[in-house]
Structure 1
Amino acid sequence: MVSLTALAALAATVISGSHAHMIMKSPVPYGKDSLNNSPLDDSGSDFPCKQRSGVYDISEVNSMPVGVAQELSFTGSATHGGGSCQLSVTLDQEPDKDSEWKVIHSIVGGCPTSAAGNLATTDGASTFNFSMPEGMPNGQYTLAWTWFNKVGNREMYMNCAPIKVTGGADNNDVYSKLPDMFVANLPAEECAIPENENFDFPNPGDSVVTAESTSVGASLSGSNCAAVTIKGAGAGKAGSVASPTGDSGAGATSAPAQTTPAYASPAKSTPAVNTGGVFAPGASSAAQQTSSAAAVPVTTPVAASTPATAAAPAGTGSSSCVPCSTDGAVVCMGSSQFGLCNWGCAVPQAVASGTSCTDGKIVRRDGRVLQRSHLRRAHDRALAVAKHQHHA
């Protein structure tokens, strides 16, 4: 006969398990009815967006005029001591492993909460605000929330939501210059964020808030971080925005914005240094399409300001710019491409035959590292070619 104590313990386990982790409440996610609260599979098999039957079912499209404050909120109690989060977008309406993701906002520490351990209730997590950057493409595409928990198994969480952007641009120029979404812990054996650390993203973008300033770190461990961190860039497939029925998305009037946001903390004074992470170049701008989509409810945002967006350094003449933080540093874009960081921008170029780019160094087959002077000459030649093509 089962004791009352055992039954109570079983009931508590079931209740806590049903809200064991966190689900994005706002923006309203895709596949709301089928979305569970578990992290992405350690193998990355359900990346992106927790692939499953009905993953891209739409119950509500989230309206996001540029420069207007949006709410990021959660349901669930197992907050694992918090951690760090990012919000990213892809122009794909049904993203896959080839889709590229661009970061619009980063939260270092304190996400979904700064509380130690887990919460007592499912509605006690913090609420954050963000806004769509000025100049983002008009139309309907996809937003993702990603979370790297501070305490517990080394995991990555990811929920996705359909969004409709208005008041922006009819090109992808701003989108293409945003940094790539950061990926780790897929699998943890290849690249993991240490436990008990609020991860400081190596390339968080211009819109970044530090919600918890203790235990901040940027270290990674594993046998193949280069192959894991690059997953946020996919295969460079930006996708094309869709236009909801009856609304082209173009020529919309931008909502008025306040000059000072009430929610944002001061911007970082010192950008994070690239400690060996690998960033892929953004894909070229895709032509905007005007395909139709089924009419669905649209959420209503609140007015606020917009964060600044990154711009390529003047004179490069190239739209393919990989953002970077340390001038003169070698930025690897996979093993076959590299760039030298120049005023926050690394222009992708192929490595010489018989060499590869690894951990911020160009290495020959015999293990010798090429001197920076050789790389500088190759970099200058690449810039000259890019300028010539730009003016041709």
Structure 2
Amino acid sequence: MRPISILSALLAVANAHMQLHYPAPFNSSNNPYLGDCNADPYLQYPYDCCGPNDRWTYPCRGYISLLGTPQGEPTATWQAGSTQKYLLRGIGNHYGGSCQVGFSVDKGETFQVATSYEGNCPHRNNGDGPDGQDFPFTIPADMPTGVQVFAWIWYNREQEFNMNCAAVEITAAADPSGVYHGSPAAQASASSSSVAVAYHDRPEMLVADDGNGCLTPHTTAELKYPLPGPDVVMGDGVYPLVLPNGTCDAIGQQAYQGETGEDGH
């Protein structure tokens, strides 16, 4: 193996990551609607690493354009208000981090938070999935029906950003009132909220470590979200939780801290 090939292999291992496995994301090898397209082998790598691009396109690595095409068919059908699970898999869980999942109902213009996982996401002691890397969450009960975009964003402790997206079909809630009381996972967490929050009133998902001047904690801490939304699943406490710093939507962050206290919850 040539020296440059050895270096490339070492860099790939150093940046080995996880990716969304279920629902199958756009252009993934397990997406049944991939067709004749080549699967993206870099879905588990951060946005500034590896592949043909110096930096992958936000959002959804540029694959939002597949919506409405045969390759963009939904890979899951979920009822609004129901509890579901998403699965992760890859070749390195980086011993945790923090994750958010949410939805876009406007073809990727905005992404509202469904659930925030502060620490131990992916599960640091459960291997590289998908067994043991399943995460329950609740679909907001007033989610608009139809084909929407489900998004998973992960921040490890290396200030790296990764985002995978999948098309999902949302069906009408069984409870027409649309009242939301938090997922079972969040209800079991000390920070969970039982206050009903409409989908469109939820905060947008955090975007950091993407060359935008907003940086998550490095090495010694896991991310605490400045605007986590009503449904928060706390980690195992192995690492302290620290807010991001830099130009991270400072107005929203300051307003949130001012209303709820210095720790952001």
Assess same fold via TM > 0.5.
yes
The 3-state SS of whatever aligns with 2:228 is coil
Matched residue type, 1:76: G
Q: Provide the C-alpha distance between the structure 1 equivalents of 2:238 and 2:205, rounded to a whole number of angstroms.
A: 23
| Cα distance change of structure 1 residues 205 and 122 upon mapping to structure 2, 3 Å threshold | closer
- The Cα shift of 1:123 comes to 4.3
The question of whether the paired residues in 2 share the 8 Å contact of 1:84 and 1:147 is answered with yes
Q: Which residue, out of 234, 238, 260, partners 1:214?
A: 238
Local SS of the residue matching 2:149? strand
Alignment of 1:1-392 (within 5 A): 13=9, 17=13, 20-32=16-28, 33-34=39-40, 36=42, 37-41=44-48, 46-51=57-62, 56=67, 57-58=71-72, 60-93=74-107, 95=108, 99-115=109-125, 119=127, 123=130, 126-150=133-157, 152=158, 154-168=159-173, 174-187=198-211, 190-196=213-219, 197-222=221-246, 225=247, 229-230=248-249, 277-279=250-252, 324=256, 326-327=258-259
TM-score, scaled to structure 2: 0.69
The offset of 1:60, in angstroms, is: 4.0
DSSP 3-state at the match of 1:51: helix
Whole-angstrom distance in 1 between the partners of 2:66 and 2:218: 30
- 107-116 or 192-201, larger mean C-alpha shift: 107-116
In structure 2, how many angstroms separate the alpha carbons of the residues matched to 1:328 and 1:69?
Answer: 27
**3-state secondary structure, aligned to 1:327:** helix
Task: Output one character per residue of 1:300-327: Cα deviation in whole Å (capped at 9) or x when no partner.
Answer: xxxxxxxxxxxxxxxxxxxxxxx83533
**TM-aligned CA deviation for residue 105 of structure 1:** 0.6
Gap regions ≥5 residues in structure 2 = 29-38, 179-196
* Structure 1 position 45, deviation (Å): 5.2
How far off is 1:65 after superposition?
A: 0.2
SS at match of 1:64: strand
What is the CA-CA distance between 1:34 and the residue it aligns to?
2.6
- Residue in 2 that maps onto 1:339: none
2:236 and 2:114 map into 1 onto residues whose CA distance is 19
- On the 8 A contact 1:77/1:123 being kept in 2, the answer is no
* SS of residue paired to 2:198: helix
Provide the C-alpha distance between the structure 2 equivalents of 1:19 and 1:194, rounded to a whole number of angstroms. 17
Using CA pairs under 8 Å that are at least 6 residues apart, name the structure with larger relative contact order, 1 or 2.
2
Counterparts of 1:146 and 1:108, CA distance in 2: 12
Q: Is the 8 A contact 1:82 1:110 kept in 2?
A: yes
Structure 1 residues 53 and 87: CA distance shift in structure 2, 3 A: closer
Aligned equivalents of 1:210 and 1:328: distance in 2?
17
Q: Give me the whole-angstrom Cα distance separating, in 1, the residues matched to 2:215 and 2:85.
A: 29
Contact 1:19 / 1:76 at 8 angstroms: preserved in 2? no
| Amino acid aligned to 1:217 | L
Could you tell me which runs of 5 or more consecutive residues in structure 1 were left unpaired when the two chains were aligned: 231-276, 281-322, 330-343, 345-392
Greater C-alpha Rg: 1
Shift of 1:61: 3.0
- Please, what is the CA RMSD of the aligned residues? 3.8
Shift of residue 148, structure 1, vs aligned partner:
0.4
Shift of 1:89: 0.9
Distance 1:103-1:195 versus aligned 2 partners, 3 A rule: same
SS in 2 for 1:180: coil
Q: Which residue of 1 aligns with 2:34?
A: none
Contact conserved, 1:108 with 1:212, CA < 8 A, in 2?
A: no
Alpha-carbon distance change, 327 to 74 in structure 1, aligned in 2, over 3 angstroms: closer
